[in-house]
């Protein structure tokens, strides 16, 4: 079984001898030294590889701002990519030049930027949420209910540790969320019993792993060195562990990862079709629905901002499109 979720498709770095490290190996080492996620690592390496191939395999040191501008402009003009995609490619190339090659590129004023569309979020009605959850079962249903009930991002939900669920206070503590921020959000009382069963399930798997000589979970940054016994402590284990152990592509260690996000995405897509919901339903749509339904119920926008972990309240205000200030709160002249 391959390492699940964000770790799929990344090969382990091998120590080479007798030759200097190749460029992509240097990039990978620089990314890991700075604790970039494996998803970002895979994306950056992919864009750097595409940039080199687009320029006839010329070494990036022999190229500069002109080639970067042409590559990024071609993505927008010919590739018709989204603005976020172009920005990711730009970030990858800037990392290559600034952090690896130590070349500070001048500001690229001539890049044709992809247009960023102004979109409102896809939000399910309360009835659609009920229909969706009624047709789901097992762990995917629990995860979907938790995303809707707590407003978590998908990876925040999957990366929850056992110790981060506080049943006494009905709270979930999100560690190292987007932007490296911690926050607290609500634990739905209706899910408490199911989550307690998940804790016991995780305990059984962890005890079996310990008996088999495993049981050490991945810890971020230097925590494993600072607290040598922490990786084997139950509180640090994933709340939603994978059914089988897999090999960590970075450390080469066989251990248990968290539940695969792809399985939840497939379950949502299939259930959405069976429920007759025409809207695009993703894990993030459940988070959008959480925020929108709270605001509809009269919750303070600042409270919703804190629960969602938004840095700026302006980000949270996008959900006011369902309130009296938005189209849904205006009575059409035809209906008068």
**Residues acting as catalytic residues:** 153, 178, 284, 287, 310, 319
The CA distance from 129 to 285, in Å, is: 10
In DSSP notation, 29-71 reads HHHHHTT--HHHHHHHHHHHHHHHHHTTT--GGG--HHHHHHH
Q: Give 288's Cβ-side CA count (13 Å radius).
A: 19
Return the H-helix or E-strand segment holding 333.
none
Whole-number Å distance between alpha carbons of 17 and 25: 13
User: The tokens of 289 are what?
Assistant: 């629905």
Integer Rg of the chain from CA? 23
Check: CB of residue 164 under 8 Å from CB of residue 172: yes
Cα 300 to Cα 145, 258, 312, 317, distances in angstroms: 22, 34, 15, 11
CA distance 78 to 67: 16
Q: Do residues 267 and 133 lie in contact, with contact meaning Cβ atoms separated by under 8 Å?
A: no
Look at residues 205, 120, 198 and name the one whose alpha carbon lies nearest to residue 157.
Answer: 198
What is the rounded distance in angstroms from the CA atom of residue 132 to the CA atom of residue 154? 17
3-class secondary structure, 256: strand
- 168: three-class secondary structure by DSSP: coil
Spatial distance between the Cα atoms of 319 and 303, rounded to a whole number of angstroms: 13
């Amino acid at each position: 079984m391959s390492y699940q979720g964000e770790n799929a498709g990344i090969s382990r770095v091998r120590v080479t001898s007798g030759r200097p490290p190749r460029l992509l190996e240097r990039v990978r080492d620089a990314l890991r030294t700075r604790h970039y996620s494996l998803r970002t690592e895979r994306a950056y390496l992919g864009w750097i590889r595409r940039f080199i191939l687009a320029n006839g395999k010329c070494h990036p040191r022999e190229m500069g701002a002109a080639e970067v501008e042409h590559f990024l402009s071609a993505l927008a003009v010919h590739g018709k990519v989204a603005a976020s995609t172009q920005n990711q490619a730009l970030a990858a190339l800037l990392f290559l030049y600034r952090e690896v090659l130590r070349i500070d590129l001048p500001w690229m004023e001539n890049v044709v930027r992809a247009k960023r569309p102004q979109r409102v979020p896809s939000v399910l009605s309360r009835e659609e949420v009920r229909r969706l959850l009624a047709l789901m079962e097992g762990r995917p249903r629990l995860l979907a209910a938790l995303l809707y009930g707590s407003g978590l991002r998908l990876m925040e939900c999957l990366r929850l540790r056992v110790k981060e669920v506080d049943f006494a206070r009905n709270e979930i503590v999100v560690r190292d969320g987007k932007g490296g921020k911690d926050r607290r959000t609500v634990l739905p009382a209706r899910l408490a019993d199911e989550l307690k069963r998940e804790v016991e399930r995780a305990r059984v798997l962890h005890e079996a792993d310990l008996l088999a000589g495993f049981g050490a979970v991945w810890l971020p940054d230097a925590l494993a060195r600072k607290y040598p016994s922490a990786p084997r402590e139950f509180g640090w284990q994933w709340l939603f562990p994978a059914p089988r152990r897999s090999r960590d592509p970075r450390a080469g260690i066989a251990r248990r990862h968290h539940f695969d996000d792809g399985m939840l995405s497939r379950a949502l897509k299939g259930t959405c079709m069976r429920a007759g919901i025409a809207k695009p339903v993703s894990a993030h749509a459940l988070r959008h629905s959480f925020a929108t339904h709270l605001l509809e119920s009269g919750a303070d926008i600042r409270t919703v901002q804190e629960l969602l972990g938004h840095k700026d309240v302006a980000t949270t205000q996008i959900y006011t499109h369902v309130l009296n200030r938005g189209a849904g709160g205006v009575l059409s002249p035809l209906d008068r």
